[in-house]
Amino acid sequence: MNTAFTAQRAQVLQQKFMDTFGQAPDGIWRAPGRVNLIGEHTDYNLGFVLPFAIDKNALVAVRRKAANKTQSYQFASTYGAQDTVEITEILHENLVPGTVPGWAAYPAAVAYVLDQLPQVQLDGFELLVDSNVPVGSGLSSSHAIEVGTIVALNDLFELGLNKKEMARLTQRAENEFVGAPTGIMDQSASLMSGAEHALFLDCRTLDSQLVPLPLDEHQLVVLVIDTRVEHSNSDGGYGARRASCEQAASELGVESLRDIQDVGQLENLDPLVRRRATHIVTENQRVLHTVKALRASDMNAVGQLLNASHVSMRDDYEISCPELDLAVSIAQGAGALGARMTGGGFGGSAIALISEDKINLVSEAITDAFARAGYRSPSIFTVIADEGAGSL
Ligand code: GAF
C-alpha cells in the first residue's frame, strides 16, 4: 500500500465528510479492487480462483447516527464532485431491492442484507466514498464499495462478523439488491488478500491460502490494460454463462461443475453447453497448476497457464472481445510471459505478466495497435498485490 498517498486521500475525505455532513466521521475504512490472476467464472461453480487485491481502492468514511434519530441512511461520493457533494438519502422502509439508482445501490445493498440479520439493529448512518478503482474496468469497483461499507458497519455496529460471513453477505447484497448474479471471488479478494501474495480460494468452503507472488525475485510486474470497453455483470452475458453451467451440472447430476475433473464426462452435453463446461473444468485445473508453479517459482509455467486461460475464455466460454484479444496478443508478441483477460469479460481489463524493463515497450505496442485498429486509447498501468480491507 502506498501509505502516504492513502493518508493524503483520507485527509481530504475527512474534510469533505465534515463539509457534507457537518460532523467528523467515526472512522475511515479502505477496501481494494482486485485483479484475478487466474480462475475465471469458476467461483459460482464452487471451484478455485487465484485473485489478488490491488493498490487501487475505495475509502469509505462513516458516522453512526444516534439511535433515537430517524432510521435513515445517507450516502455521498466524490465521484464527479467539485465543490458540492450530492447526498442520496434512503429511509429504512425504502430499502427495497432494485429501487436505488447508481452507485448508492452498493452501500444500500449492504445495509439491506445486514438489516435482515436477526441480531442486527442497524440505526442510521452517514457514508462518504472516495474510490480510485476505475469504474466498469473489470477491477471490481462495486465490490470495493460494498466491502468498504461492510467492514465499516461491522466495526461501528459491533456486529462481530468474520471475513467469510462478510463475503457471503456482500455476495447476497450484489445478487439480491443490486441484481447482478455474481459469484464470491471479488469480495473475498477484497477482504482476505495479503500484500505480495495471491489468494488461493476454494469457493465452496471459502477456505483460503495466501500464495507468495515471486515477482520481485524475477524482476516481473503485472501490467493491467484497461480496454475502456465498459462492461456490467448485470448485462445478459454473465447470467447466460452461469445458466449454461447450472444446466450442465444438473444434466450431469452433480451439485456444481466443481465436481467434474475430467472433460471426458462432458461429452454427452449439448455442444454449446459442453464448451462452456469445458472452460470451467479446465480452468479449475489451471488454477491448481498455477498455485504449484508459483510455489516452485516457475514463472514461465505461470505465463503459459495465463495464455491457455485466455484461449479457453475466448473460444470455449466466449466472454472476450476484440479489444481484449488484441491487448493479449500484442502483449504476448512484445515478450509477455503470459497474458489474459481478467474479470467478468465482455470488456474491462486484460493483465500481462512482463519483465519490468518491458513496461514501456509493451504499453506502447498496445497503445499503437489500439490506435491503428480505431479503438479507444487504453489505460495501462502496473499493479501491486496489496493487503485486504480494514480500517485506516
Ligand atoms: C465478476 C464476478 F463478480 C465474479 O464473481 C466472477 O464470477 C468474475 O466476474 C469472473 O471470474 O467479476
What are the φ and ψ backbone dihedral angles of 142, each rounded to 5 degrees?
Answer: -70, -40
Least confident of 99-108, 110-119, 120-129, 225-234: 225-234
- pLDDT of the residue at 24: 97
Whether 360 maps to a domain, the answer reads yes
pLDDT tens profile 133-178: 999 899 999 999 999 999 999 999 999 999 999 999 999 999 999 9
Residue 332 pLDDT more than 70?
yes
Asked if 313 contacts 342 with a C-beta cutoff of 8 angstroms, the reply is no
Q: Are residues 201 and 219 in the same domain?
A: no
Whether 389 maps to a domain, the answer reads no
CATH of the domain at 253: 3.30.70.890
- pLDDT of the residue at 81: 61
Q: Are residues 70 and 193 in the same domain?
A: yes
Residue 82 pLDDT more than 70?
no
Q: Which of 159, 177, 209 is the last residue of a domain?
A: 209
Q: Is the CB of 189 under 6 A from ligand 1?
A: no
Confidence category of residue 230, pLDDT binned at 50, 70, 90? confident
Residue 11 pLDDT more than 80?
yes
Confidence category of residue 80, pLDDT binned at 50, 70, 90? low
Whether 391 maps to a domain, the answer reads no
Task: Quote the cell numbers at residue 179.
Answer: 441484481
Domain that holds residue 143: 3-209
Q: At residue 248, what is the residue type?
A: A
Residue 325 pLDDT more than 80?
yes
Q: Are residues 154 and 107 in the same domain?
A: yes
Give the residue ranges of DSSP H helices in the chain: 3-21, 105-115, 141-156, 163-172, 185-192, 236-252, 271-295, 299-315, 322-333, 359-373
179 closest CA partner among 112, 134, 247, 128: 112
CATH of the domain at 198: 3.30.230.10
**Torsion angle in degrees (nearest 10) through CA of 205, 176, 138, 62:** -90
Q: Are residues 317 and 354 in the same domain?
A: yes
Q: Are residues 217 and 281 in the same domain?
A: yes
Whether 390 maps to a domain, the answer reads no
Q: Which of 209, 227, 245 is the last residue of a domain?
A: 209
Q: Are residues 68 and 118 in the same domain?
A: yes
> What is the DSSP code (8-state) at residue 184?
S
Asked if 135 contacts 102 with a C-beta cutoff of 8 angstroms, the reply is no
Q: Are residues 160 and 19 in the same domain?
A: yes
Q: Are residues 235 and 96 in the same domain?
A: no
Whether 73 maps to a domain, the answer reads yes
Out of 233, 245, 280, 309, give the residue to mutate to test ligand 1, the one with the largest number of ligand atoms within 8 Å of its CB: 233
CA 135 – CA 152 distance, rounded (Å): 21
Q: Mapping DSSP to helix (H, G, I), strand (E, B) and coil, where does residue 225 land?
A: strand
Residue 78 pLDDT more than 90?
no
Q: Are residues 182 and 223 in the same domain?
A: no
CA 84 – CA 223 distance, rounded (Å): 35
Confidence category of residue 231, pLDDT binned at 50, 70, 90? confident
Q: Is the CB of 33 under 6 A from ligand 1?
A: no
pLDDT tens profile 92-103: 899 999 999 889
Q: Are residues 81 and 111 in the same domain?
A: yes
Asked if 180 contacts 23 with a C-beta cutoff of 8 angstroms, the reply is no
Q: Which of 209, 224, 242 is the last residue of a domain?
A: 209
- pLDDT of the residue at 79: 75
Q: Are residues 142 and 245 in the same domain?
A: no
- What total of structural domains would you count in the chain? 2
Q: Is the CB of 344 under 6 A from ligand 1?
A: yes
Residue 216 catalytic? no
Residue 83 pLDDT more than 70?
no
Whether 392 maps to a domain, the answer reads no
Q: Are residues 225 and 186 in the same domain?
A: no
The reported pTM is 0.96
Asked if 26 contacts 124 with a C-beta cutoff of 8 angstroms, the reply is no
Q: Which of 43, 55, 130, 186 is catalytic?
A: 186
pLDDT tens profile 23-48: 999 999 999 999 999 999 999 999 99
Average pLDDT, the chain: 95
Whether 158 maps to a domain, the answer reads yes
Confidence category of residue 236, pLDDT binned at 50, 70, 90? confident
